[in-house]
Structure 1
Amino acid sequence: MARTDEQLAAHLKEIEGKRDDEAAQSFDFAARTVYRVFNNEDWEHGGRFYGAWWISCPSELRPYILINGKRTVEVDYSGLHAAMLYAQDGQPIPDDPYERCLTRKDNKAERKLVKLTFNALLNADSVDRIGEIEDYSPEITGRSWDDFKWYIVSKYPEFRQHFGSGVGLLLQRKDSDLAEKVMLRFAAMRYACLPVHDSFIVHHGLQDELDRIMREVFEAEFEVSGKVGVDIGIGEVVEGAGLPVEPNPDQLLNPVGYEARLQAFRDKRGKAEDTHILPL
C-alpha cells in the first residue's frame, strides 16, 4: 500500500460503518500466503482462497495497492456464477447478467444489491428462509427485501431450479479452481498475481496478459469464452486522493508513529554498537 498516514486515515473514515464483502479483519501486511477453505466437510463445497491481507482489503483501498512500486490493475470475471450457469446449460453468456434487473442502467449501487442477492439465492437452501443481505436498501431498489428477492427470482426463469438449492457452494469450488489455474499460470512466468476470489490484481503492464489467461482458463473449463471486467488502479503518484504529500520540516525533525519508533530503534542500535567498540 502506498499511502501516507493522513491519506489512509481519510479513506478509513470514508468507509467507516461500511462492511465490504471480505473486510472483516484488520490489515496484517505480513499475511502474504493464501489457503483454501472448504465447507460442509465436502471437498466439492467452497474451496476459495483466504488468508492474505489484500483479500480483506476494502475495495475502496485496493486501487492503491502497488507491486514493486508500480500501479496495479484489478480484473474480474463479470457475473461469474451466472456465467458459469449459462455455460453449463449451453446458453449464451450476456455481457452483464445483472443488467436485466436494473431500474436504471449503470446504477452501480443497485447492481451491487442485485449481484449480492443473486448469489445469496444460489447459496441458500430455501428462497423463503433466506435472510436479508447486509446493507440492503429499499431506498435503492424501491422494494422491500421479500419483494426484491422474489423479483430477482422472477427475472431469471432459466435459473429458477438453482435458487434455494445451495448450488452456490458447488460454483465456489469451480471458481476457486479457475483462480488456482490463473495464479499458477502467473507463477510459472514469475509474476505476482494477487487473488480476490473472482478477481486478480497484477502489475498494470500485465493487464492484457491477465485478460487473455482468464479467458483461456474459463474457456478450457466450460468450452465457451468468459467475459472480464477491468478496474484500473491509482497511479504511482498517490497524491491524487485530495491530500497532497508535501514536505514538513517539523515532521522530519520530530517524527511520530512508525517513523518515531524506527528512529528510536536506530538510535538504540547505534548506542549499543558504540559500547562494544574495542580499543586498538
Structure 2
Amino acid sequence: MTRWLVDTPAKSKHDLAQRRQQFWKPRAIGDEVWQGRDRDRALRLSWRCNEYEFAKCLDLPLAGSAKNVRAMISVAVDAVHTALHFPELRVSCSRRNGWWQETRRYRDPDFTYYNVVPAIDALLEAGILVDYDLQPAGRSTGVQSSYRPAPWLAEIILPELRYEVGEVIRLRDAEGRLIDYRDNDKTRRDRAMLAKINRSLAEAAIDLDVPAAVRDANAIRLDGYSVFPGMTSLYRVYKGGWDRGGRFYGGWWQSCRKTHRQHLTIDGHRTIELDYQQIHPRLLYGIAGRHLEGDAYTIPGWDRGVVKKAFNTLLNTQDFKEARGAIAKNLGTDRDTAEWLMLDITMRHPDIKSYFHSGIGMTLQNIDSEICRQVLVEMYRKGIVALPVHDSFVVAEEHEDTLSQVMQTTFDAVAKTAKKLF
C-alpha cells in the first residue's frame, strides 16, 4: 500500500489483468526516448542594463568589437543574476556553432557563436565564471557544456535591469528543442496580437502586496523563491507542430505560488483569479459528445491530487506501458499500484477511455491555449488588463463579472469548434 491509498483492499495481479483487458486495447509500444541528466539553468541573454553602470560593479576582461562587449556584458549580467537568485544551479550553454545558427531567430542578432562563446571563455579565464564542465566536441550526448558563476558575484548590486523577450512565437520539436520555422499567417497574427497585449501589460502597474516580501531594483524575494517584475512580456510556445501546445509563458506572475498570486494588484487595485476547472476532462467529454458528471478527479480511495496527476499523465503518454511507468515514477510508487489507479480512472471515465495513453495531451493544450488567446484578445478590446496563468486569469476585482462572461462564452465557442476536429 502507499500513502495515497485510503482503506482500499489489496488486489491480485489476476484482478488487475482482467480489468485491464476489459478497458484497454493493446497499443504498439513506441521507441524509447533517451533521457539525459536534468538540465541546468540555460544561459539567458535577455537582460539589459546601462553598460556604464554595470562596469562600475564588475571589472570585465578586455573585449574587441562593440558586439563582443555587448555579449560579454549580457553573459556577465546573467551570471550575477544566477548567483543572486539561483546559487544552486549551473548555467548551460551550447558550444556547437550549428546550434547557434539553428536558433538565431530567438536571440539578438549580435549574440552569435563567435561573440558569446569567446566571451564565456574570457570570463572563465578571469575567474568570473568557474567550475567549467566542457562536453566533448562532436559527441551527441544531449548534454550541453555548463559552468557556475563565481560565488562572490552574489555580493554585487546590479543596476536596474530591463528584460527583452525576443521572439514571442516559439516552436520546439517533440524533444523540446527550439527550432527555426517559416512564418505563416498564424505566426504573423499571433505576433501582432502579442505586440499589442505586451504593450498594455508593460504600461500596467502589476505588483504584489505581500508585506513579508523583500525587494530590490530587479526582484521580489518571497518564501524561498524570487520573481522578477520586469518580465511582463508574454510569448507563445508550440511543441511538435502548430497544432500542439501553444500556451502563453513569460509573465512574472506565473512564477508566483497560488497563495501569493491572490495578493497581486493591477494599477493599485486588488485582484481576483478565475480558472477553468477541470478544463481537459471537460474538453474531452465535449469532444466525445458526453457530459461530465461531478468532479473528474474524485475517486473513492484515492487522493484527488494524485488522481489529477495520473489523469494528466494518461493524456500525455503514447501507450499503456509508458503511462504505467510514468505514473509510478511521478508518484513514487510501484507499477501494480499505478496500474490499479489507471484502471480506477478508466472505470470512472468510460466515455473517454479511448483517449487515454493516446498522446492527446499536447493537442488539448493547443485547444486550451486558443481559449486563452481569445480571452486575452477580448479583454484587450474591452480595455481590461488580464494576466494569464495557463487555464486561469487574474483581473482587477471590479472586472470579475466581465471576465467570467468572456471565459464562458469563449470556452463554449472553442469547444464546439474542437469537437468538429475529432
TM-score, length-normalised on structure 2? 0.44
Change in 2 beyond 3 A, CA 1:6/1:213: closer
- Structure 2 partner of 1:4: 211
Whole-Å separation in 1 of the counterparts to 2:210 and 2:329: 29
Q: Does 1:180 align with 2:360?
A: no
Whole-Å separation in 2 of the counterparts to 1:32 and 1:57: 13
Whole-Å separation in 1 of the counterparts to 2:214 and 2:290: 46
Residue pairs, 1:126-205, within 5 angstroms: 126-130=319-323, 131-132=326-327, 136=331, 144-205=337-398
Q: Deviations 1:8-62 (Å, cap 9, x if unpaired)?
A: 999615xx8xxxxxxxxx422111011111112x111111111111112222211
Query: More relative contact order in 1 or in 2 (CA 8 Å, sep 6+)?
Result: 1
How many residues are paired up? 202
- Structure 1 partner of 2:228: 28
Q: Does 1:38 align with 2:234?
A: no
Q: Percent identical across equivalent pairs? A: 30
Aligned partner of 1:177: which letter? E
Q: Deviations 1:83-116 (Å, cap 9, x if unpaired)?
A: 01111122123353223x1448xxxxx2222222
Change in 2 beyond 3 A, CA 1:135/1:65: farther
Change in 2 beyond 3 A, CA 1:6/1:175: closer
Q: Deviations 1:120-172 (Å, cap 9, x if unpaired)?
A: 1101112322313787377xxxx933432332233222222111100011111
- Structure 2 partner of 1:48: 247
Quick one: which of 303, 307, 310 aligns to 1:114? 307
- Structure 2 partner of 1:22: none
Whole-Å separation in 1 of the counterparts to 2:214 and 2:272: 20
Residue pairs, 1:67-82, within 5 angstroms: 67-82=266-281
Whole-Å separation in 1 of the counterparts to 2:373 and 2:344: 35
Whole-Å separation in 1 of the counterparts to 2:264 and 2:330: 26
Q: SS of the counterpart of 1:61? A: helix
Q: Deviations 1:166-199 (Å, cap 9, x if unpaired)?
A: 0011111000000000011110111110111111
Aligned partner of 1:12: which letter? D
Q: Deviations 1:217-274 (Å, cap 9, x if unpaired)?
A: 11112349xxxxxxxxxxxxxxxxxxxxxxxxxxxxxxxxxxxxxxxxxxxxxxxxxx
Deviation at 1:78, TM superposition (A): 1.4
Unaligned runs of 5+ in 2: 1-207, 418-422
Deviation at 1:5, TM superposition (A): 3.7
Whole-Å separation in 1 of the counterparts to 2:345 and 2:266: 39
Unaligned runs of 5+ in 1: 17-25, 105-109, 225-280
Quick one: which of 295, 300, 304 aligns to 1:96? 295
Q: CA contact under 8 A between 1:37 and 1:48: conserved in structure 2?
A: yes
Change in 2 beyond 3 A, CA 1:102/1:34: farther
Q: CA contact under 8 A between 2:238 and 2:245: conserved in structure 1?
A: yes
Whole-Å separation in 1 of the counterparts to 2:256 and 2:310: 22
Q: CA contact under 8 A between 1:114 and 1:152: conserved in structure 2?
A: yes
Aligned partner of 1:76: which letter? D
Whole-Å separation in 1 of the counterparts to 2:297 and 2:390: 19
Whole-Å separation in 1 of the counterparts to 2:403 and 2:328: 32
Change in 2 beyond 3 A, CA 1:214/1:4: same
Change in 2 beyond 3 A, CA 1:7/1:112: farther
CA RMSD between the two structures: 2.7
Q: CA contact under 8 A between 1:78 and 1:96: conserved in structure 2?
A: no
Deviation at 1:7, TM superposition (A): 8.2
Deviation at 1:76, TM superposition (A): 0.7
